[in-house]
Structures are given as C-alpha cells and as structure tokens.
Amino acid sequence: MLTPTQLSVIQQTIPVLQDHGEDLTRYFYQRMFRHNPEVRGFFNPAHQQSGQQQRALAGAICAYAQHINDPSALTGAVELIAQKHVSLGIQPEHYPIVGENLLASIREVLGLAETDPILDAWAAAYGALADLFIQRETAIYRQQREHAGWNGFRNFVVSHREAASDNIVSLYLKPGDGKPLPAHKAGQYVTLRVALPGGETIMRNYSLSNEPGAACYRISVKREGGEGTPAGICSHHLHERLQAGDKVELSPPCGDFTLAASSTRPLVLIAGGVGITPLLSMLHEALAASPGRPVWLIQGALNGRVHPFADEVNALQRRHPGLRVHVRYSEPLPEDRLKAVHDGEGLIDEALLDELVGGEKAEYYFCGPTPMLRHLCQLLASRGVPSEDVHYEFFGPAESLAA
C-alpha cells in the first residue's frame, strides 16, 4: 500500500514521464540487457530495434502513474500483459531484475540522488504492480495446468506444412508424446520455442489459426524481412528450414482476445493481412457453435498473391450460406481485376460498413497492422458502437491507438 505522500510524488512525475518516457525505457532496456543478459531471450529483437517495445513500456508506465489511485482502471492492460508473460514463462524471480534496473534507470536518467523521494515512491509503486502481476500470473499458470495439462514448454512435431498465400506458411503441430490436445479458445496464441542452426534458441508468439478441438495446433507465419535481419530471423527459419518431422516446443495457449461466451448477436470479423489468423479460428468456432448467427468476415490484403486462406474461407461459405464475406484489396494486381476475386479496393470505410452491416447492433473483432486498428477504432466510435462491443488484437507490444 502506497502512502499518501508516495501517491502524490508519483502523480507529480507524470509530466516528466510524458516528456522523457521513451528516453527512460530505451535506457532501461539497454541497462537491463547489459547487467542481466539472461533475460534478453524474453524479448523480440525486432521490437527493440523498431522502438515498439520502448514506446509500449513508456505508455504503460505513464498509464500506471495516471491511475495510481485506482489501478483497477488498468485491468484490461494488466490481463493482456500477464497473459503474454505466462506465454513466455516469466516467473516471480524475474520481477526483482526488472525493478532493480527500472529504479536505477530512473535515478541515472533523471540524475537523482539515491535518497530522492521519487525513487522511494516508484519503488513502492513497482512493488505493488509486481505483486498484482505475480498474483494474476500464478492464477493463469494454475488454469493452464488444470485445462491444458502442462506449464512451460512441451515437445511438438511438425506434422505437415502448407502455403496459405505467397508470404504465409501454415505449420501443423502435434504433441511429441502422442497424447490428445486440449481445445484452445478461438483467438488464443501459443509461444513457439525453436533452436536455430547456429545454436541460438528463440521464442515467438503465434496465433492459432485452426478450429478449436482439432488434433493439431496450426500456426500460420508471415515471412518478415530477409535472412539475417532481426525482423525476419524466426519467420525465415520457419519458412525455409522447418519441415515435416522437425521438433519444436510450445507453451499452452494464452491470450484474452476470445469470443464472448454464448453470444448470438451479429458478429463482424475484420482482418488485415496475417491478422486473419486469430479471426479464422473465431470464424470456425462461431459457425460451429451458432449456425444461425449472422456473421460477416471482411478481409483485407494487398492483392491476390498475399490473400491468405481464400480456399478455406470459400469452403466455409459453401457450408454456411449465412456467412457473408467481403474481400478488399488495397493494391490489386492486374490479374486480380481480370479474375474478379475481390469485392472492392481501398480501405474499409463508413460506406462499406453501411452497405454490409447497416444499423445492426453487432460485436466487432479485428486484427491487423496498427494503422488499421487505429482507423477502425475511430470509425466504430464515430458510428456509436459501444466500447464493450469492440475487440482487437495487437501483434507485438500493445501501443496506444490514440490519434
């Protein structure tokens, strides 16, 4: 419990955090990796290089300071981060490492004495936040043991692989021990841990793209960057080297981007590029659970060559005539226009939602690039869609969608 004085000090630091938050978090990561290199493997180097991780942490620290009197306002953010921590295997003993480096970074970046009240206040604030995360993560680990039957990483084998588009490959993963898999919740992800040829072991999160209850877990991976670049080191390995029969490790399914239980209200799924992966699993679940439920899938892609899962979605539409699908290309190729394989061009806009959904009181789930998420949040807000009916998933560290 923070004292009134400590709460006041935290609130007084908000302007400094707003002005210098990214400088602080950039220094923090550099310091932590230098002093505690054992934690480096928990972080995606591409997100470090792009600055996405630093921006996300800076935003989270500011949000915590702004809501220090009522942390319950951050329940959604805490849940998202706790799920990600569990997927990577974060344990209570990792929190002192982060706390020590964060407080040292505050002192060194701001030039504070070790006895400065700011450090005392932030030490108390970090301790309270760490306790909150540890309690929630302990509960998630317990739930995993009860439902999935394991914690940490379990051996899996690549059953087979297939192309979902020119730039996305699907990998079907079955348990190495041959035991049945628990059904995941549509929209969840797993953490894949794989050894690279040079001996380095890396971890990445991938959404499960197939229907819950299948005999295998399916992940569908977009090729990112090129060989040897931080952005593409894992995706290149999965595309070029991982073959049927190869072994990997998976953590149990995690994530809270899941369909509302037992809802029969109209459902609108909006996907951009590889953002289709969690939504495709949701589509399978929704159609199986409520065959009469009105469902729209709006899928965006650059063009037909990188339009993933076209055949699978077409097959679902043939089996479920009530499923309405709209495909939109932002940069169609000449052959796309000749084949007429898409329904429109450009961005998803007000006119399209008016045409497809009209005034229906629907639930919206969407996933894709951050600019698309920001655009859709603003568009749905302007249409008066309640925030509780708007659900979206980030790939990578969550950042603010404020304009």
Whether 46 and 86 share a structural domain: yes
Q: What is the pLDDT of residues 158-198, one digit of tens each?
A: 999 999 999 999 999 999 999 999 999 999 999 999 988 88
Q: Is residue 400 part of a domain?
A: no
Find the CATH number of the domain harbouring 41: 1.10.490.10
Active-site option among 95, 172, 189, 392:
95
Q: Are residues 130 and 232 in the same domain?
A: no
Residues 22 and 141 reside in one and the same domain: yes
Kindly give the interhelix angle for 95-110 and 14-35, rounded to the nearest 10 degrees. 120
Is residue 140 situated within a structural domain?
yes
pLDDT attached to residue 36: 97
Do 382 and 301 share a domain, yes or no? yes
Integer CA distances (angstroms), 361 to 164, 273, 386, in order: 32, 26, 9
Residue type, position 263, single letter: S
| pLDDT at position 217 | 98
Domain boundary residue, one of 126, 147, 168: 147
Please tell me which residue, 314 or 359, carries the higher pLDDT value.
314
* Residue 274: CATH number of its domain: 3.40.50.80
Is residue 227 among the annotated active site residues? no
- Tell me: the pLDDT tens digits for 369-397? 989 999 999 999 999 999 999 999 987 66
Domain closes at, from 147, 181, 198: 147
Question: Is there a single domain that holds both residue 59 and residue 132?
Answer: yes
Which of 130, 147, 164 is at the close of a domain? 147
Q: Is residue 227 located within the same domain as residue 362?
A: no
Residue type, 346: G
Question: Is 137 among the residues known to form the active site?
Answer: yes
271 plus 339 within the same structural domain: yes
Same-domain pairing of 142 and 158:
no
Name the domain count of the chain. 3
**Domain membership flag for residue 311:** yes
Q: Active-site residue among 27, 64, 126, 137? A: 137
What pLDDT digit, counting tens, does each position of 93-119 carry? 999 999 999 999 999 999 999 999 999
Mean pLDDT of 262-277: 91
- Is 260 a domain residue? no
What is the token pair recorded at 342? 């898409």
With a CB cutoff of 8 Å and minimum separation 6, the contacts of 216 are 159, 172, 173, 174, 181, 210
Domain span at residue 48? 4-147
CA-CA distance, 332 to 17, in Å (whole number)? 43
Q: Return the pLDDT at 283.
A: 97
Q: What is the CATH number of the domain that holds 227?
A: 2.40.30.10
Report helix, strand or coil for 57. Answer: helix
Query: Do residues 323 and 297 make contact, with C-beta atoms less than 8 angstroms apart?
Result: yes
Q: What is the mean pLDDT of residues 212-227?
A: 87
pLDDT band for position 124 (50/70/90)?
A: very high
The pLDDT value recorded for residue 397 is: 67
Instruction: Tell me if 37 is assigned to some domain.
Output: yes
What pLDDT was estimated at residue 394? 80
Please state whether beta strands 363-367 and 390-393 pair in parallel, antiparallel, or not at all (unpaired). Answer: parallel
| 260, pLDDT greater than 70 | yes
> What number of CA atoms fall less than 13 Å from residue 243's CA on the CB side?
2
**Together in a domain, 236 and 323:** no
Residues 142 and 9 in one domain: yes
Tell me: do 293 and 350 sit in the same domain.
Answer: yes
Specify whether 192 is located in the same domain as 100.
no
